[in-house]
Chains A and B, each alone.
Chain A
Amino acid sequence: MGLLIPQASDSIQELSVEELRAKVGTGMEIVDPEEHMLLSMGPQHPSTHGVLRVLVELDGETVVNLAPDIGFLHTGIEKNMENKRFVKALVMTDRMDYLTPATNNLVYAMAVEKLMGLEIPERAQTIRVIVSELSRIASHLVWLGTSALDLAAMSVFLYCFREREIILDIFEMIAGQRMMISYFRPGGLWRDVPEEFVPAVRKFLEIMPAKLADYEALLGQNPIFLARTKDVGVISHDDAIAWGVSGPSMRGSGVDWDNRRDQPYCGYETYDFEVPLEKEGDVWARYNVRMREMRESLRIIRQGLDRLKPGPVNIANYKVVPPPRADLGTSMEAVIHHFKVWTEGYHAGPGYVYQVIESPRGEMACYLRGDGGNKPARVHFRTPSFVNLASLPLMGKGAYIADLVAMIGSIDVVLGEIDR
């Protein structure tokens, strides 16, 4: 994170290139400090989707060079998690990618389960899939709304948030919270879904396809939207792999990889769904991939609801999950377990694992090391937005500055996740 602090005495023209570089703090190569204009886009800019600062070197309207500057939202989540017990550290994961907390919970919970070698009951797996896919749709709706808003399509934003509201209501129903749900816990779920859950999701499944058609009607044939997105921000197939781009941004460049299909977890291999793929690698391709992904998510949710059978949602190991509340009145052991789980927690390790899932933004991974204590010794998140942002200079060089806005929107960055 760097701050551009202008002193009264210096103007940019008086500085040498080295001084200038030191001053702007992004290490960006400045091609021509004499002729070109340096523009600081953000951190308080409506189209940067959070507090992202992009330092742009401009020749007229053309971007010569650019560098993202991050860290304005750094909250030390990884450090904080090392100082909390395993289950308490979970709530911090919601706050990283605040648009899709469910997948963040999932990757951490699965990492803890892998570290301890726990097997999760089938009902919990199915609910995890359903809630993750709902979360994916909610996240894509925010992306669609905000990135269309960046291109001055105001009404789509309002429609998207209207539908997202239904999903947030479902989250409130199952977890008590609309956004920071902390619903997936190591060992299963916080608790089973209420009776109203299945009818509510079915109702959502009924109305959503028509709404998706509405969005596509608003944007898909809109000549302004097409002109702003086609052939803009192209990233090639090989570049996408070399620069670690992941998720819909990668699939928009023709890289056929989806962790849900290719390295399945939570029983994704038993669901029937397709992985949308586009070849062009431009903003339009990424738009198409995400739009089609939402339909596939609806398919997965429908299959999940069909196979939802009654059963336990937590493992029966009361050293890890608290025993059922009803047992506390009759069983001394249950009281002891309850007390131990909430005061001391459980111990894991020694060892380290790397758990990968497919978050709405791409490859989300958690590196977790336990040292045999009741706190994680090291947690690290491979957050897709952070790595995807590295490819922004690649896309942006040579483009118009107005298109930069479309590109930032299309790689769907969430700054909470980038800065952690």
Chain B
Amino acid sequence: MTRDDMVVDKLRAALPEAIEEVSDFQGERTIFIRKDKIVDACRLLRDDPDLRYNYLSDIVADDLLPEYPRFAVSYHLLSMPNKHRIRLRVQVEDPDEGPETVAAVWPVATWLETEVWDLMGVRCVGNKGLRRLFMPEDWQGHPLRKDYPLGYEEVQFSFNWQEIDARKPRAKQ
């Protein structure tokens, strides 16, 4: 039995409801987890003596527009003792009600989920530290979403500052 299958079996045994789907692509196993089960699944994968996915490599949010559900959050886990990686994926319909934070399992998740919220606008429920990390404090919108246009800003000089300022989209707010 490969390690990929072992993870799926263990998850099925311990959390029968959790797995939605399992897929393979280019040698990478992705396990789709139900949104409300992600913390349990992560904790199981970390603590099970045969699995020991002790390292959270990354959390990535993806905008799948025009598909439904629109958003997906991927958790890339690494088991250092077993030298194996796996991806858990959660599908998110409403970005304001994203998956629960996994900060209780890996504290670094607080930091990674902040990036997810800042750039993609998927709110990981329970994460108190969500704030603008890359974008300015007063920024509107989440730039990595597919419906967010790739824009640019007109360069202002002292002689035309007022003129350009007046037609800037956010100037009136």
* Chain A residues in the interface with B (C-beta under 8 A): 1-3, 25-27, 70-71, 74, 76, 78-80, 83, 114-115, 117, 241-244, 255, 257, 262-263, 351-354, 356, 363, 365, 367, 369, 378, 380, 382, 386-387, 390-391, 419-420
Report Cα–Cα, A354/B59, bound state, in Å: 11
Q: In the assembled complex, which residues on chain A have CB atoms less than 8 Å from the CB atom of B62?
A: 352, 367, 369, 378, 380
Report Cα–Cα, A420/B76, bound state, in Å: 20
Question: Are A71's CB and B119's CB within 8 A?
Answer: no
Q: Does B132 contact A (CB under 8 A)?
A: yes
Report Cα–Cα, A164/B62, bound state, in Å: 38
Q: Does B112 contact A (CB under 8 A)?
A: yes
Report Cα–Cα, A378/B110, bound state, in Å: 22
Q: Which of the listed residues B60, B110, B143 has the most CB atoms from chain A within 10 Å of its own CB?
A: B60
Question: Are A1's CB and B133's CB within 8 A?
Answer: yes
Closest 5 CB pairs of A and B: A244-B108, A382-B58, A390-B111, A71-B134, A74-B134
Q: How large is the interface on B (under 10, 10 to 19, 20 to 34, 35 or more residues)?
A: 35 or more
- A354-B74, A419-B134 given; 6 more Cβ-contact pairs under 8 Å: A1-B132, A76-B143, A356-B57, A365-B58, A367-B62, A380-B60
Q: Which of A243, A351, A363 contacts B107 (CB 8 A)?
A: A243
Q: In the assembled complex, which residues on chain B have CB atoms less than 8 Å from the CB atom of A2?
A: 131-132, 137
Question: Are B74's CB and A367's CB within 8 A?
Answer: yes
Chain A residue at minimal CB-CB distance from B23? A351
Within 8 A of A (CB), among B1-43: 25-26, 28, 30
Chain A residue at minimal CB-CB distance from B105? A242
Question: Are A71's CB and B26's CB within 8 A?
Answer: no
Q: In the assembled complex, which residues on chain B have CB atoms less than 8 Å from the CB atom of A1?
A: 132-137
**Shortest Cβ gap from A23 to chain B (Å):** 10
Q: In the assembled complex, which residues on chain B have CB atoms less than 8 Å from the CB atom of A365?
A: 57-58, 76
Report Cα–Cα, A307/B150, bound state, in Å: 46
Q: Does B167 contact A (CB under 8 A)?
A: no
Question: Are A367's CB and B108's CB within 8 A?
Answer: no
Q: Which of A79, A242, A353, A391 contacts B143 (CB 8 A)?
A: A79
Q: In the assembled complex, which residues on chain B have CB atoms less than 8 Å from the CB atom of A369?
A: 62
Within 8 A of A (CB), among B82-138: 83, 85, 87, 106-108, 110-112, 115, 119, 129, 131-137
Report Cα–Cα, A419/B62, bound state, in Å: 18
Known: A241-B55, A352-B62. A387 touches B76 (CB 8 A): no
Q: Does B56 contact A (CB under 8 A)?
A: yes
Question: Are B80's CB and A257's CB within 8 A?
Answer: yes
Q: In the assembled complex, which residues on chain A have CB atoms less than 8 Å from the CB atom of B76?
A: 354, 365, 367, 382
Q: Which of the listed residues B63, B133, B135 has the most CB atoms from chain A within 10 Å of its own CB?
A: B133
Report Cα–Cα, A350/B141, bound state, in Å: 27
Chain B residue at minimal CB-CB distance from A354? B76
**Shortest Cβ gap from A84 to chain B (Å):** 10
Chain B residue at minimal CB-CB distance from A250? B55
Question: Are A387's CB and B108's CB within 8 A?
Answer: yes
Report Cα–Cα, A234/B122, bound state, in Å: 34
**Shortest Cβ gap from B106 to chain A (Å):** 6
Question: Are A71's CB and B132's CB within 8 A?
Answer: yes
Report Cα–Cα, A283/B51, bound state, in Å: 32
**Shortest Cβ gap from A182 to chain B (Å):** 21
Question: Are B108's CB and A243's CB within 8 A?
Answer: yes
